[in-house]
Amino acid sequence: MVLSPDAPSVLRIAVLGCGVVGTEVVRRLVTEADELAARTGAKLELVGVAVRSLDAERDPVVDRALLTTDAEALVARADVVVELMGGIEPARSLVLRAVEHGASVVTANKALLAQDGPALYQAADAAGVDLYFEAAVAGAIPIVRPVRESLAGDTVQRVLGIVNGTTNYVLDSMTTTGDGLDEAVAEAQALGYAEADPTADVEGYDAAAKAAILASLAFHTRVALDDVERAGITGLTAQDVEWAGRTGHVLKLLAVAERAQGDDGTAGVLVRVQPTLVPAEHPLAGVRQAFNAVFVEAEAAGELMFYGRGAGGAPTASAVLGDLVSVARHRVLGGKGPVESSHADLPVLDAGHARSRYQVRLEVDDRPGVLARVAHALADQHVSIESVRQTPRATGDDASATLVITTHTAPVRALRTTVDAVAALDVVRRVVSVLPVL
């Protein structure tokens, strides 16, 4: 490559956080130093690793002489800061401080981006430095770069996918073993797929943050975590998973970001995370264990799918290092990467504007005429039925049956009113579950 005479020959890299991902990033910086230098045009010199404790046990690849608890001082002497601490503070302050000092930032922090993305973007843009975050969404899978660069000349209609490996592992395990949620979460914890406090994953916060980031990029509109309608996998039972299978589906926690119409017909954006019944023949149904997969539907490109490891030290480090080489190349060759693109500024619609097929599972009296009465109640709300399946559960005087209704695509508001009307019928004992169908 042709370098200008004042191109730097060494770039000082600071890594904040030395957990599973941080350790793998350090490993590649050390073991692939020559290769990375050849690809970048400058030596990437690791000048420090900020940690909370100097005494914790660490992989020997991490040189103890580089450890520091003074992250603030570290970021002030770096050309590129790799933020892998997670959480809002002190990560936020350190990223802003790094940018003020003229350092580019690579981060995997989805929570921070979903909460404070615009402020970080603005600070980086004002300072003329890069803010890269491929590792924040879907681990090793290149999805941030394709959405914000490869599809920059196209119109994205919908982004949907499995972006949380922990919940996918749990649901896959429930599907395979018939276990309940608690056992499956405990197993995932034992295997390192779920954290000791699994709230961020099982309640869908992690997926919602990623959905907000993807929606912001895809629709050139600021979407924050609070804009995402979120339902996690808590509350799902072994029976929900079993019934999904009986009706030809697999239960998956999906993130969906799409263009939709508001009440007055104007264009808006709808972003949600929710357990969804995926038809068994759909590619997303085959995404097993902790893998991730994202579909992007764009006007010109059509449907694209991206699949790979959504978490783990080495895969996440791959994404971090890819960003690191990109921002380092900008230091060497000049220029910078894409900045925030929020000019479309579409309204974020509330979840009531969603349209979907739904599967409603009811426990009903097992006697003639029940199906007809339920069907009548649905028709009253103009919700069209695709299929109904009735299965007796017990016999005797108190005989009950399970009624599984799949609707055609309907507005969620009509569906809610309908479910209320159905629940009020005297033959309906209980609305067991209402789940969207992909």
Tell me the chain's radius of gyration from C-alpha atoms.
Answer: 25
Contact flag: residue 100 with its own copies (CB under 8 A)? no
Q: What is the DSSP letter of 350?
A: P
Stretch that binds its own copies, among 195-203, 223-231, 315-323, 391-399 (CB under 8 A): 315-323
- Cα–Cα distance, 141 to 312 (Å, whole number): 12
Q: Which helix (H) or strand (E) holds 265?
A: none
Q: Least distance to its own copies from the beta carbon of 193, Å?
A: 15
Bridge-based pairing of strands 291-298 and 249-261 is: unpaired
Minimum distance, C-beta of residue 328 to its own copies, in the bound complex (Å): 9
Choosing from 110, 210, 252, 336, the catalytic residue is 210
Residue 317 interacts with its own copies (CB under 8 A): yes or no: yes
Q: Would you count residue 108 as binding its own copies (CB under 8 A)?
A: no
Of residues 43-72, which lie at the interface with its own copies (CB under 8 A)? none
Nearer CB in complex with its own copies: 318/402? 318
Cβ-in-10-Å burial (0-12, 13-18, 19+) of 239 comes to middle
Check residue 178 for interaction with its own copies (CB under 8 A): no
6 contributes a contact to its own copies by CB under 8 A = no
At its nearest, how many Å lie between its own copies and the CB of residue 314? 4
Q: Which of 8, 86, 306, 351 binds its own copies (CB under 8 A)?
A: 306
Helix axes 20-31 and 313-333, enclosed angle (nearest 10): 50
Question: Does the footprint of its own copies cover residue 252 (CB under 8 A)?
Answer: no
Q: Which of 309, 353, 357, 361 binds its own copies (CB under 8 A)?
A: 309
Q: Rounded distance, CA 405 to CA 129, Å?
A: 54
Site string for its own copies, 208-227 (x = CB under 8 A): ------------x-------
Place of tokens 């990437």: 44
Q: For the segment 113-142, give every residue that binds its own copies (CB under 8 A).
A: 125-126, 128, 134, 140-142
Sole binder of its own copies in the list 68, 239, 289, 341 (CB under 8 A): 341
Instruction: Sort residue 249 into left (φ over 0), alpha (ψ -120 to 50) or beta.
Output: beta
Q: Does 245 engage in binding with its own copies (CB under 8 A)?
A: no
If the CB atoms of residues 230 and 252 are measured against its own copies, the closer one turns out to be 252
Q: How far is the CB of 218 from its own copies (least distance, A)?
A: 12
User: Binding of its own copies at residue 335 (CB under 8 A)?
Assistant: yes
3-state SS, 139-176, equals CCCCCHHHHHHHCCCCCEEEEEEECCHHHHHHHHHHHH
Q: What is the dihedral of CA 15, 20, 23, 25, to 10 degrees?
A: -70
Nearer to its own copies, 50 or 123 (CB): 123
The answer to whether residue 8 forms part of the interface with its own copies (CB under 8 A) is: no
# residues near its own copies by CB under 8 A: 64
Q: CA 210, CA 273: separation in Å to the nearest integer?
A: 10
Interface with its own copies (CB under 8 A), residue from 87, 102, 235, 334: 334
Q: Look at the alpha carbons of 312, 315, 319, 321 in this order and tell me if their dihedral is positive or negative.
A: positive
Question: Can residue 339 be called a binding residue for its own copies (CB under 8 A)?
Answer: yes
Q: Based on CB atoms, which residue is closest to its own copies, 146 or 275?
A: 146
How many residues are given for the chain? 438
Residues 182-211 that bind its own copies (CB under 8 A): none
CA atoms of 262 and 76, how far apart (whole Å): 46
Residues 6+ apart with CB under 8 A from 372: none
The span from the CA of 91 to the CA of 95, in Å, is 6
Q: Could you tell me whether strands 355-365 and 428-437 are parallel, antiparallel, or unpaired per DSSP bridges? A: antiparallel
Report the nearest approach of its own copies to the CB of residue 105 (Å).
16
Q: Which is nearer to its own copies, 160 or 321 (CB)?
A: 321
Q: For residues 161 and 294, is the Cβ–Cβ distance under 8 A?
A: yes
Our finding on whether 5 is near its own copies (CB under 8 A) is no
Distance CA 378, CA 388 (A): 12
- Does 336 participate in catalysis according to the annotation? no
By CB under 8 A, what part of segment 270-289 binds its own copies? 283, 286
d(CA 293, CA 273): 14
Helix (H, G, I), strand (E, B) or coil at 107: strand
Least separation in angstroms between residue 35's CB and its own copies is 8
Residues with active-site annotation: 210
Contacts to its own copies by CB under 8 A: 1-2, 24, 28, 32, 35-36, 38-39, 125-126, 128, 134, 140-142, 145-146, 149-155, 220, 283, 286, 298-309, 314-315, 317-326, 329-330, 333-336, 338-341, 343-344
